[in-house]
Amino acid sequence: MGTADVNLEDLAAVARADLVREIDASGAFDADPVWREVFRAVPRHLFVPFYYVTVAGGYERRWAEHPDPAARRRWLRGAYADEPLATRLRDGELLSSSSQPSLMAEMLAAIGVRDGDRVLEIGAGTGYNAALLAHRLGDDALVTTVDLDPEITESARRHLDAAGHQPLVVTGDGARGVPGRAPFDRVIATCALPSIPGAWLEQCRPGGRVLTPLATGLVLLEVTDATHAEGGFLNTPAYFVPLRGSTRPVPDPASLAGVPRHAREDDLFRFLLALTLGALDPQEAYALWEREGRPGRQRYGITVSGEHAWAWLDDPTGPYGWPLPNRP
């Protein structure tokens, strides 16, 4: 190892400590402080040997092996920014990314992982989230991560191996789960879906939890049995790459004729639009939003019962309920 590499390792340790302090200040560790030490221990830069940043006219690639030492330092500092990092593009379209670390910390704390839990992650990404889970549980065999793209799963395996972890990385359809590894105590998705796949509940133990992005939010479900689950949304916004082949688009504000501009541009109103897509037209959604005091995400929830799933406001049996698309 050369002097430049030693300096990079020192810089990585300092940058990682700074990132942990930044996440801590956001409150993301409050629900489960054990994650503070996990993020301090797992080196994010090993999982993003290259990434892309937005520049005028497109993207700029930053990578670990750049011949210019200053460029390598920029890559390393960026790897520890509390920001999502684009890691895979195709024809200008984002296919995969490393999520914002503070959002990852909030999700991991919210799902309430306990010693000995078996965890299924939907969306392998770079492998960083799987490494955090493996380190927290102290047993790589308890963690399974799945992704449809073989290039993504192969790179995730390489990154995990470089970091000293070997959870099971599966190439397959995340909506189908990984039945050969079930039952799971926790299912956590790092990609967005339009509804809750039945396979996730079938593969989760009664009393287990499922956390998934949906309609620009994060819903945390308590699983009763293989066909029933219910829970509410976290308060935080969340924008994730969709599971391949599954989308629930957020309406374009410019298309919302008749809705006042302040609502068209409001993140919480657009969340309601995405959640009720196909069930309410924009004017109906706007009238409800104003009538109910412009509710935040935490007032909404999801219920799954048999073949049906619906979103609701305040009460799963109350007056406001909207069917979700057919479960994949």
Helix segments in the chain, DSSP class H? 3-26, 34-41, 69-79, 101-110, 128-137, 150-162, 198-202, 261-264, 267-275, 282-291
Average pLDDT score over residue span 15-26: 97
Confidence grade of residue 1 (pLDDT, cut at 50, 70, 90)? very low
Neighbours of 35 (CB within 10 A): 23
Per-residue pLDDT reduced to its tens digit, 160-191: 999 999 999 999 999 999 999 999 999 999 99
Of 26, 96, 195, 305, catalytic? 96
Question: H or E stretch including 10?
Answer: helix 3-26
Pick the CATH number of 3-233 from 3.40.50.150, 3.50.50.60, 1.10.1450.10, 3.10.310.30: 3.40.50.150
Give me the helix-helix angle, 101-110 and 128-137, nearest 10°. Answer: 40
DSSP 192: B
Q: Does the pLDDT value for residue 258 go beyond 90? A: no
What are the residues whose beta carbons fall under 8 Å from the beta carbon of 3, sequence distance 6 or more? none
What is the pLDDT at residue 245? 58
Which amino acid, 133?
L
What are the residues whose beta carbons fall under 8 Å from the beta carbon of 281, sequence distance 6 or more? none
* Residues pairing with 270 in the sheet: none
Q: Where are the domains of the chain?
A: 3-233, 253-323
Residue 96 annotated as catalytic:
yes
What is the pLDDT at residue 202? 98
Q: Are 123 and 43 in contact (CB under 8 A)?
A: no
Residue 122 tokens read as: 């939907």
